[in-house]
Structure 1
Amino acid sequence: MSTYTEAVQVQSDFTITTPRLHISYFVPSNPIHTTFLAHLWNTPEYIASSGKTSITDSASAQKFIENRVVPHYYFRRYGMMLVSLKPHVDAFLVESTPIGTVSLWQGAPPDCYSVPDIGFCILPEHQRQGYATEAAKALIEHAQLEWGVLGVFGFCFPGNEPSRKTLEKIGLEFRGVRKLRVFGNDENMVFTLPGMAEDLGVYGVEP
């Protein structure tokens, strides 16, 4: 039987490419990955929108990736992915710059719905360049074609216009505001891929 560590070893070279980006699995043993996640989740902009987390340094980021992110890959194949600018050659050095994350996340019952939701987070200095849209579109397309994902939700708090605009650019459709149990019954704007059932109760979403 495969272990989570073996799964990551197999997946560490996995990449989805777009014109400007590549999307890969987080590898807990890679210090670039752990240091980047700690940095991203401690920017003032991230804390203002999502709150402070327990990820304060590379060591805590490594534990989070090992305990939460990798098991999700193992069971779902998708999860939280690292978004990097495509490598460029500077003299004899090939560099790849991490700039954010994109995720398809589906929790464990009962704290989940029957299809995953899309999420994204880009460093402030790389925002407003379309990277979140580019990465999310590519991940959803790959998930549909390769992993059999038939539906995708998008959630964001009312008033979060940047996230709403990105979800709409990805191609998701607004389906109203609902109190969602997976977010502590807080109100969220709900978006879905076109073609998903009109009755969101089919997916376990509260009326």
Structure 2
Amino acid sequence: MSESLKLTTDRLCLSQFLWSDPNHCQFLAKLETTLRIPNGRPGKTAIRTSDDGKQSLYQDNQFQWNHYGYGTYLISLVRPSFLQITDHNRSGRREYECIGKLSLTTWGTSGPIHATELFVSILPEYQRRGYATEATRALLEFVWTQFGLAELFAFATLDTSHTEAARAFARKLGFREKGLAKRFHSSGLILATEGMRKEIFLHTSTPITIDGDLMDVE
């Protein structure tokens, strides 16, 4: 996706998160303390300042976007803003308010297996309005059409106050519960698109670790 290309829905606009835009970097630092879906908890992050955000987005651009053609997207709420209204003329423009991000991260390996993880973060004041589902559905349709990307997984941390909401979100997208696992020292539930093989999201070369066998929940 080029910097000028945007994905739009009825209420939202998705565009590339840009390391070269100071406003994007500052917003990322603010957003990083927000609940991630479907992870079910705020992420532990080293991104606390605008400079941290710039470095993170630069790395995302150099690897994810350049290598795969997708990466971290800025979610903006679209609002009409009318500049002039007369009896014969009504001119206006759109305003974009940053409300979240949507990430597709592909964990590549030296072999043919690649695992693509999805998560989304929405500012608390904009949650429970369907924005996360609306943005994610639009992006999944786009990456399927453009890249044939259909196999994705997500990780939902267990035993938090947000676990059930996270599971419900993933189910809306058509993800299925594949099993229980441990990742980054957290116990959680693997959710994946239909037909995704276990060896893809459990490949030993990815940053996913499993204690013992994956316990089936289907």
After TM superposition, the score normalised by the length of structure 2 is 0.77
8 Å contact kept, 1:85–1:99: yes
Aligned partner of 2:16 among 22, 25, 30: 25
Tell me which of 11, 14, 19 is aligned to 2:2: 11
Q: 1:79 aligns with which of 53, 68, 71?
A: 71
Give 1 or 2: higher strand fraction: 2
What CA deviation, in whole Å up to 9, does each residue of 1:169-206 have, x standing for no partner? 11111112123xxx335322111112334xx1255456
| Structure 1 residue runs without a partner (length 5+) | 1-9
Q: Deviations over 1:108-162 (max 9, x none)?
A: 437xx62311110000000000111111111111111111213111211113222
Residue in 1 that maps onto 2:54? 62
Letter in 2 for 1:96: Y
Name the aligned partner's letter for residue 104 of structure 1. Answer: L
RMSD: 2.4
Aligned to 2:196: 196
Aligned to 2:172: 169
What's the CA shift string for 1:57-83, capped at 9, x where partnerless? 222211211123442111111111111
Amino acid at match of 1:136: T
SS at match of 1:106: strand
Gaps of 5+ in 2: 84-91, 204-209
* TM-superposition CA deviations, 1:19-77 (whole Å, max 9, x none): 1111110111112211211111145x57x923442222222211211123442111111
Counterparts of 1:44-123 in structure 2, within 5 Å, are 45=35, 49-91=41-83, 94-109=94-109, 114-123=114-123
Greater relative contact order (Cα 8 A, min sep 6): structure 1 or 2? 2
Task: Output the CA distance in 2 between the equivalents of 1:202 and 1:85.
Answer: 34
Q: Name the TM-score, length of structure 1 as normaliser.
A: 0.80
CA contact (8 A) 1:82 1:101 kept: yes
Question: Secondary structure, in 3 states, of the residue corresponding to 2:107?
Answer: coil
Q: Which has the higher helix share?
A: 1
Match of 1:133 in 2: 133
Instruction: Count residues with an aligned counterpart.
Output: 189
CA contact under 8 A between 1:115 and 1:150: conserved in structure 2? no
For residue 109 of structure 1, what is the amino acid of its counterpart? T
1:4 equivalent in structure 2: none
Rounded to whole Å, the distance in 1 between the matches of 2:184 and 2:147 is: 29
* Larger gyration radius, structure 1 or structure 2: 2
Distance change (3 Å), C-alpha of 1:173 and 1:42:
closer
Which amino acid is the alignment partner of residue 76 of structure 1? Answer: Y
The separation in 1 between residues aligned to 2:115 and 2:43, in whole angstroms, is: 25
1:41 matched to 2:44: no
What's 1:3 paired with? none
